[in-house]
Amino acid sequence: MRGGGSAPNPDVMTEEYTEGYKAKLVETKQAWARAGRLLTGKTGEHGVDRLPPGQRLVENWPILDLGIQPDVAPADWRLTIDGMVAQDLTWDWNSFLAHPQIEIVSDIHCVTQWSRYDNRWTGVSTRHLFEAADVAKDATHVLLASYDGYTTNLRLEDFLDEDCVLAHRHDGQAISREHGGPVRLVVPRYYFWKSPKWLKRITFSAEDKPGFWEERGYHNVGDPWLEQRYD
């Protein structure tokens, strides 16, 4: 992948993936963000209202990507943990599975207005990873990068919510390629664009850095109950 381990920027992406990259779709979503499309102007209360404002429940599971679905075999998958850590770490598939596994049931809320209830995720908790990585006390943010060049950012405390999981199973089955297998991050409290598929790299930082959608008009935090769709 071009740019080695560094967080990919959008220009690199379009150059690198002239084939398959959905530039038109990205344009449309960006235009919606500029126009404030899909906003209801209502707010909900997290923990009280299960369905956030402007969302509708689906039974199926839509697939959203940038036109690229990396085919990463578990044997070739590596997760790099770097930035403000005592020492950079690389987890391969076996070392990832050797860490304590948790199971979490949570809801999905996508900014394009679909929500899906009761997803059972299996994997390593972000809290465990945080402890294992020996992160510096003054780290405040987490930058996430994926095998398709996608990036997103989170505040450290949001990354450390107790239901956040580096997941490799969904409802008892290996996460499929189109849904981000072998490993994706799941951050249920925020819109699903904050849950990167095909996870490749986690960087702890004392600075925030907008990711792919955050640079294109999406909200930096993305709380569905406050309808933080756009910036």
Helix (H) or strand (E) holding 78: strand 78-83
Site string for ligand MTE, 102-121 (x = CB under 6 A): --------x-----------
Question: How does 138-164 read in b/e, with b if 16+ C-beta sit within 10 Å?
Answer: ebebbbbbbbbbbbbbbebebbbbebb
Which one-letter amino acid corresponds to residue 165?
Answer: V
Taking CB under 5 A as the criterion, the residue among 23, 38, 110, 226 binding Mo ion is 110
Give the helix, strand, coil percentages of the chain, each rounded to 5: 25, 30, 50
- Should residue 23 be labelled a site residue for ligand MTE when binding is judged by CB under 6 A? no
Q: What are phi and psi of 28, to 5 degrees?
A: -60, -45
Least CB distance from residue 84 to Mo ion, whole Å?
A: 28
- Should residue 221 be labelled a site residue for Mo ion when binding is judged by CB under 5 A? no
- Should residue 58 be labelled a site residue for Mo ion when binding is judged by CB under 5 A? no
Least CB distance from residue 207 to ligand MTE, whole Å?
A: 22
Least CB distance from residue 152 to ligand MTE, whole Å?
A: 7
CA distances from 78 to 52, 57, 72 (A): 35, 34, 9
Site string for ligand MTE, 50-79 (x = CB under 6 A): -----------xxxxxx-------------
Minimum CB distance to ligand MTE smaller for 33 or for 134: 33
Instruction: Kindly identify the residues of this chain, within the stretch 143-182, that bind ligand MTE according to CB under 6 A.
Output: 146, 148, 150, 179-180
DSSP state of 50: S
- Should residue 89 be labelled a site residue for Mo ion when binding is judged by CB under 5 A? no
Helix, strand or coil for residue 163? coil
Which residue matches tokens 């598929």?
A: 197
Helix (H) or strand (E) holding 174: strand 173-174
Least CB distance from residue 138 to ligand MTE, whole Å?
A: 28
Interface region with Mo ion, contact rule CB under 5 A, candidates 55-63, 109-117, 143-151, 203-211: 109-117
- Should residue 32 be labelled a site residue for Mo ion when binding is judged by CB under 5 A? no
CA distance 161 to 75: 29
Which stretches of the chain bind Mo ion, using CB under 5 A? 64, 110-111, 193
Which stretches of the chain bind ligand MTE, using CB under 6 A? 61-66, 110, 146, 148, 150, 179-180, 192-193, 195-198
